[in-house]
Homo-oligomer: A and B are copies of this chain.
Amino acid sequence: MDYVGKSHIRVDAYGKVTGKAKYTADLCPKNALVAKVLHSTIANGEVVDIDISEAKKVPGVVGVFTCFDVPDIEFPTAGHPYNLDPSHLDPADRKLLNKRVRLYGDDVAAVVAEDEVAAVQALKKIKVTYNEFKPYVTARASMQDEAPVLHPNISKSNCFSHISFKSSNDFNYDEAKKKAIEKYGEDNLVEVCANIKTPLISHCHIELPVSYAYVDTNGKVTVVSSTQIPHICRRVVAHALGLPWGKVRVIKPYIGGGFGNKQDVLYEPLCAWLSTQVGGRPVFLEISREETIVGTRTRHPMDGDVRGLITKDGKYVARELVNYVQNGGYAGHGASITAKCTGIFKNIYKDELGVNSEAYTVYTNAPTSAAMRAYGVPQACSFSEFLTDDLCFKAGLDPVKFRLENCADENSITGDQKFYTYGLKKCIEEGAKHIKWDEKRKAYQNQTGNIRRGVGMGIFIYQTAVWPISEEISAIRMVLNQDGSIQVQSGATEIGQGADTVWTQMSAEATGISFDKIYVMSTQDTDLTPFDFGAFGSRQSYVVGFAIKTCGELLKKKIIDRAVDLELTKGKKADELDIKNNNVVDKSGATVVSVGDVAMNSLYSQTKAEHIVAECTKQTLTNTFASGCTFVDIEVDMALGKIKINDIINVHDSGTVLNPALASAQVHGGMSMSLGYGLSEELLIDEKTGKPLNDNLLDYKIPTAMDAPDYSVAFIDMKDPTGGFGNKALGEPPAITASAAIRNAVLNATGVSFYQLPLTSQRLVAGFKEKGLID
């Protein structure tokens, strides 16, 4: 390939480093009103009364709106493709402002004012009277009979989803264990049972959720937003406001990160509605970091009871996960993230006698959990990889060899989602080689002293896109300019990951027009951009790739056909021609006419003029698994409970690597997130009050540049036969396994199994003390 597979510089690099790139807040009209939201100070209860009389008197206040004023419409916020089957729709479980308070920080009122100062002053003067209930923060707590049901319209109990994915319908772990004992004898088996907990964390994207809305001259409610999912956002805003979908327009400029938080529709509906309440004037609504951490979305904390059974000679016999998923106050993506976690746990290993992966997804009085990079799979791989290493440790088996024997392979997963190419074992081998696994495992045996070293690993598998769980389509439009350059329009979104650059490479590949002559329109506008669901599920490069390939070939055909029709091809027919490097060429590769000349002759023909454009929708009906692993070499300061990363590598099987430099950067970012997940990030909620204890970036610890080790990255570059350009998922997978690999390296270094992330100093010191390793 001429363009795909090369490390082209990002098309937005210059604009972003020079500050030219415009984000939502940059674009907001000068005269916009400012909206601020009043959040509940209780975690569970009802608003009985709101007194806004004093708030309305604040100079500059244009309007004060409460949960008693909003439309009586409940809507879902998850950024899922719509489905014509109502049973596939997400729970519609919240209003624009909520009388029924389900979490601390729920939205109960809003102020619109001429400026931020007036809005904030007015907020302080709103008096809310609550009828307060006891909060139930965790999944297990909220499943108790005593807990008030948070969404009786959605579910009779707070557990709104219970699923069980089994290797076969009649699989039962205890029965399997009995069978295994019969087959192998109890002495030849090793079992581990554990309770594993993953933390509640925040996405910590740089740009806070921000939108502004106005009613346009044509009566459309127009929302400019930092969203990953403009077309879905349009639908949800329309739903929330009770409007026909075409009456809403969503525009998405550059965005400063999302990581899944902006795959939920957050304050866009409220912002839009507030504008309709103040005569359609532009209303700007940006929330603070504190509001973002508490009131938007988080990664699901999961609390899983795992059991695993292996033979002493290294064969997985049976596994079980019973997972209690704290979903927080609203459904968001709840059940589907749990489902993804549950499915990956089931599929990541081959179990001789089977597996049960089971989960309860539960409304609780905690921040709402929803999509976050890798969508339940960091949790799944915490369960699977902690368990697997514990089993190996207990059986004295080598975790690499064990995984090479037992991990999912090209035949173990069947159905619509499967490995069309398989590179996981190669990834493991490559990672082991890089980290000098065998050598270090030997060297790190029998350590004593305060500093102890260890190596660890973790593996993952990950679907590309969301088919067949949801529909997968993408549409592309290409517009030819007079100089032979083109614009490429897509509803898929650049969210910082480099999508625009990869679309440019793909478009060049598909059309024969060179990289520098391809202009991807970065801004999505639901009124104009071809349809696409947006950035999530590691879908875009795969699904959009198909669409670009199809549309590019259509454009190429149109250009060649026009060249023939306009008699520019020296008598050569369309089937003898191709486009390469901006020229229509013949079979020998010789230039027949430039694309620019075809464009000019086509547009300015006095008798048969045509503006050459191509547009098409491409539906994706395949889904291929990506996979990979992290290997890490750490040292543990036993007394301080401090982990230092000496070496870390992610190895990915993501099919063809579209842009190696961008791919590496993507992996670096993901590894950094996984380090935070493993070592320091945790949003603490007081279980008595439901109040967050560290809802700010001073107390909530994300890794900084100072905390970052040197990241190594390797790719098993295998062209996937289904991918438009041979590529598979890479957006989310890098965020999955570093945390598990580190946890397993701690086990290797110290012999201590930890079951709760993050591995803070407190937890490590407590663990080491418990085992008598330190005083």
In A591-650, the 8 Å CB interface with B consists of 600-601, 603-611, 613, 615, 617, 619, 621
User: What is the interface size of chain A, counting residues whose CB is below 8 A from a CB of the partner?
Assistant: 67
Q: Is the CB of A521 within 8 A of B527?
A: yes
Residue in A82, A214, A519 whose Cβ sees the most chain B Cβ within 10 Å: A519
Task: Give the distance in Å from the alpha carbon of A604 to the alpha carbon of B26 in the complex.
Answer: 34
Tell me, yes or no, whether A280 is within 8 Å of chain B by CB: yes
Tell me, yes or no, whether A684 is within 8 Å of chain B by CB: no
Tell me, yes or no, whether A152 is within 8 Å of chain B by CB: no
Task: Give the distance in Å from the alpha carbon of A235 to the alpha carbon of B603 in the complex.
Answer: 13
Contacts of A477 in B (CB 8 A): 613
Kindly report which residue of chain B lies nearest to residue A605, judged by CB atoms: B471
- Minimum distance in angstroms from A64 CB to a CB of chain B: 23
Q: Is the CB of B84 within 8 A of A600?
A: yes
Contacts of A601 in B (CB 8 A): 84
Q: Given contacts A20-B215, A519-B220, A604-B82, are A481 and B611 in contact (CB under 8 A)? A: no
Q: Is the CB of A16 within 8 A of B531?
A: no
Choose the segment among A65-73, A242-250, A765-773 that binds chain B (4+ C-beta atoms closer than 8 Å).
A242-250
Q: Is the CB of B611 within 8 A of A617?
A: yes
Contacts of A20 in B (CB 8 A): 214-217, 280
Tell me, yes or no, whether A335 is within 8 Å of chain B by CB: no
Task: Give the distance in Å from the alpha carbon of A214 to the alpha carbon of B20 in the complex.
Answer: 9
Contacts of A475 in B (CB 8 A): 610-611, 613
Q: Is the CB of B235 within 8 A of A482?
A: yes
- Minimum distance in angstroms from A538 CB to a CB of chain B: 20
Choose the segment among A171-179, A484-492, A691-699 that binds chain B (4+ C-beta atoms closer than 8 Å).
A484-492
Tell me, yes or no, whether A86 is within 8 Å of chain B by CB: no
Tell me, yes or no, whether A468 is within 8 Å of chain B by CB: yes
Q: Which of B30, B489, B521, B617 contacts A30 (CB 8 A)?
A: B30
Tell me, yes or no, whether A263 is within 8 Å of chain B by CB: no
Kindly report which residue of chain B lies nearest to residue A489, judged by CB atoms: B528
- Minimum distance in angstroms from A170 CB to a CB of chain B: 30
Tell me, yes or no, whether A81 is within 8 Å of chain B by CB: yes
Which residues does A use to contact B, with CB under 8 Å? 11-12, 14-16, 20-21, 26, 29-30, 81-84, 214-220, 235, 244-247, 254, 280, 468, 471, 473, 475, 477, 479, 481-487, 489, 517, 519-522, 527-528, 530-531, 600-601, 603-611, 613, 615, 617, 619, 621
| 11 A–B pairs (Cβ distance < 8 Å), ordered by A | A12-B217, A15-B217, A30-B30, A84-B600, A84-B601, A218-B520, A244-B483, A246-B485, A473-B603, A473-B611, A475-B610
